[in-house]
Chain A
Amino acid sequence: MSFPWAKHYAPTNPLMKWVDERLPLPRFVYNAVGAGYPVPRNLNYFWNFGVLAGAALAIQIVTGIVLAMHFAANAGVAFDSVEHIMRDVNGGWFLRYAHATGASMFFVVVYIHIFRGLYYGSYKAPREMVWLLGVVIFLLMMATAFMGYVLPWGQMSFWGAQVITGFFSAIPGIGDTIRVWLLGGYAPGDATLNRFFSLHYLLPFVIAAVIILHIWALHIPGSSNPTGVEVKGEQDTVPFHPYYTAKDGMGLGVFLLIFALLLFFAPNYLGHPDNYIPANSLSTPAHIVPEWYFWPFYAILRAFSSNFILDAKLWGVLAMFGSILLLFFLPWLDSSPVRSANYRPVYRTFFWILVVDILILGWCGGSAATPFYAMLSQICAAYYFAHFLIIIPIISRAERPRPLPNSITEAVLSKHGGTSPAQTAPAAE
């Protein structure tokens, strides 16, 4: 499970010895995120985001549990119970704003984490399972965030639930039956709110469990690194603690600082004003838009506007789910043995086009559905699918990568002028 030179847990404190002999939990932590886990020495700041995502989940769970103590999942009083939290619960505004902006911060770091994986080829053998579990976490996050947004029972909550559950009615034949079954009625109501609350409370713990599997799968081959060259020896690695705990500590500080600025000074910046209007089934908002983190996918859904054998709506729903599900196949679509885009000039170009493409899709998804945005999303959605399903398979075969360094240490030393071959990572203590 680890490199032969990994340090072994050797407690000196008699109490820790006693515990370790009976329940080796301290040993487990030591090997997972302590000095017993050797990590490539050349990780850059983009490798901070996994830890940050974990921290964001922890913040969501802690604030969410306290919010649940004051929230009432009933269509008649849900909106007012949220305002009760904002106005009458001690520190309630802090908890609720932390939870709402925390969801956005969670998605920010997870999106950077995913793009890190795409750029550096982290999904490739032998780390396919890490990637697959990551996509599962992403899907669970989206479901959790969607159901959480319904809970305050404002206009966007209600109409968002209406639109998103409406996707299922696109399924031919049984679609409407499935939709009614999901909602517990013909329109979002008390039954919907209650089941969404129940699942919104459950899924974060499922996410936490899948994160454990994600980290477990990561620790089999060990972390990748910006060169994409595997670890060759002890000089290539440093122990996770204290090296990366220190680096992650700093990353966490910067993350919390940005989070705090958003929370305390612009808590509603990323939200929609309509969600401060209580849900009203008789009044449809002028523009129904989901939260910003769904905008690219919403744009893909709306891009399909003409029937083509199948109904346009069904195409849209298939494409929207497909746009995420195709990530499950990425490790096999990209057959290039070179991981890091630093050594793949053609792939790197297309990677950055993809980043811009998804940003434009996000912009389209958040805007009103005018013909201009429709055309833009049709072009960008076409690129999105072409990128993963056509371009990546072709360039992974056709591209001639640049020469790779022989080892991580060689890459590090050449970056620093490469004059001192004696420089190696410190051995244990």
Chain B
Amino acid sequence: MVRNLAMLVGAAFVAVLAWSLFWTVKGQITEPAAVTVEATEFHKHPKALALPSDGWFGKYDKRQLQRGFQVYQEVCAACHSIRLVAFRDLKEIGYNDAQVKAIAKGWKIPQPSINPETGEVATRPSVPADHFPAPFANETAARAANNNALPPDLSLMTKARHGGAAYVYSILTGYEPQSKELLKAFPDVATPQGLHANPYFPTMNIAMAQQLTTDGQVTYMDGTKPTVDQMAKDVSAFMVWTAEPELESRHTAGFAVAIFLLIFCFLAWGAYQNVWRDVKH
């Protein structure tokens, strides 16, 4: 009884699936689905980017993070927030207390506050305990100032995009004019007014204009030559840190745990062999 009923139900599901399959195949033949530009080679995968934080032994290069922070401060911070990061966190990338205090105090964007006398909306200089203030008061203000585009918060950027840091690096260095072949194959993706062609962006056009344009745009304190490529690399490395400040301690703890567990496995294997030595199984 159960089996006969089951076969009936099974036959019903198989029949409906065959019906769906028939229509899918027919649809493919009569009106094949249009290929999206994202599925073609016109849309490029992120460039290869090697950072010291990559891999199992990955560690941050603090000088690189400081350079990346400088690029963020002088270029990105005008539009992009890193609202999850606090000034005090900068101690992790090698700044001392006094430097952090100075950076917070001198930060160009003021910290929203209230007037302690009147309770009215006011601003004050930041202190190390503050998170980085956002360049715009709210989404509406951000869109109003950016041609209706919203510059995303960068705190988690490398974890929030496929490709991670390589994606950030590729967007920053990937601006290029659209080729004739692309425009012929996909006339729809021709760059509209106010957008900028970038084949690393899913829709092929990004609202952000090219920001890293000339070598020497930022003057590095440590003597590193600030080429566009170098600045893009450094700020991408900095983005990895803002997204994963725990990365180094995670790797260190990982090795300690793995070694402990390897010893545990070895001992457990020995115990297993010992207990079972007289029993065939």
Contact = CB atoms under 8 A, between A and B. Distances in A.
A389 B9 contact: yes
Contact of B2 (A83, A315, A333, A423): A333
A393 B245 contact: no
B154 to A, nearest CB: 12
A235 to B, nearest CB: 10
**Secondary structure type dominating chain A contacts:** helix
Given A256-B261, A378-B21, A41 B33 contact: no
B114 interface: no
A163 interface: no
Contact of B16 (A268, A315, A374): A315
**Secondary structure type dominating chain B contacts:** helix
B159 A249 contact: no
A413 B33 contact: no
B180 interface: no
A322 interface: yes
Nearest to B167: A273
A42 interface: yes
Given A253-B264, A385-B10, A375 B24 contact: yes
Interface stretch (A53-61, A167-175, A239-247, A358-366): A239-247
B268 interface: yes
Given A250-B268, A250-B269, A265-B251, A329 B20 contact: no
A423 B280 contact: yes
Interface in A288-323: 303-306, 308, 312, 315, 319, 322
A71 to B, nearest CB: 16
Interface in A394-417: 412-413, 415-416
Interface stretch (B68-76, B102-110, B212-220, B252-260): B252-260
B11 A390 contact: yes
Nearest to B265: A253
A287 to B, nearest CB: 11
B137 interface: no
A332 B278 CA distance: 40
B23 A243 contact: no
Contacts of A261: 254, 258
Tell which of B15, B20, B21, B243 has the most Cβ of chain A within 10 Å. Answer: B20
A381 B257 CA distance: 41
B184 interface: no
Contact of B275 (A246, A276, A305, A382): A246
Contacts of A42: 281
B48 interface: no
Tell which of B13, B254, B261 has the most Cβ of chain A within 10 Å. Answer: B13
A332 B3 contact: yes
A323 to B, nearest CB: 9
A66 interface: no
Contact of A305 (B9, B20, B156, B160): B20
B145 interface: no
Contact of B280 (A274, A308, A379, A412): A412
Interface string B189-227: 000000000000010000000000000000000000000
Contacts of B272: 246-247, 249-250
Contacts of B185: none
A337 B152 CA distance: 62
Nearest to A97: B250
A83 B262 CA distance: 32
Contacts of B250: 93-94, 97, 264-265, 267
A302 B246 CA distance: 39
B141 interface: no
B248 to A, nearest CB: 11
B183 interface: no
B14 interface: yes
A386 B18 CA distance: 12
Interface in A103-119: none
A257 interface: yes
A13 interface: no
Contact of A276 (B13, B25, B89, B156): B156
A326 B5 CA distance: 12
Given A41-B281, A250-B271, A277-B160, A386 B14 contact: yes
Nearest to B243: A276
Interface string B25-37: 1011000110000
Contact of A378 (B20, B152, B255, B258): B20
Nearest to B278: A426
B33 A370 contact: yes
B19 A308 contact: yes
Given A273-B159, A386-B10, A388-B10, A243 B279 contact: yes
B17 interface: yes
Contacts of A41: 279-281
Interface of A: 41-43, 80, 83, 86-87, 93-94, 97, 238, 242-243, 246-247, 249-250, 252-254, 256-257, 260-261, 263-265, 267-268, 273-274, 276-277, 286, 303-306, 308, 312, 315, 319, 322, 326, 329, 332-333, 335, 370-371, 374-375, 378-379, 381-382, 385-386, 388-390, 393, 412-413, 415-416, 423, 425-426
- 10 smallest CB-CB distances across A and B, nearest first, come from A389-B10, A264-B254, A253-B265, A276-B160, A250-B268, A378-B21, A385-B13, A393-B3, A382-B17, A246-B275
Given A246-B275, A386-B10, A388-B6, 16 more contacts: A83-B155, A87-B245, A93-B250, A94-B253, A247-B272, A257-B258, A260-B254, A264-B253, A265-B56, A267-B250, A304-B17, A306-B22, A333-B3, A371-B24, A382-B13, A389-B11
25 contacts: A80-B84, A83-B84, A94-B250, A97-B250, A243-B279, A246-B272, A250-B268, A250-B272, A252-B268, A261-B254, A265-B251, A265-B254, A276-B160, A306-B23, A308-B15, A329-B2, A332-B3, A335-B3, A371-B24, A371-B33, A374-B24, A375-B21, A379-B21, A382-B17, A425-B279
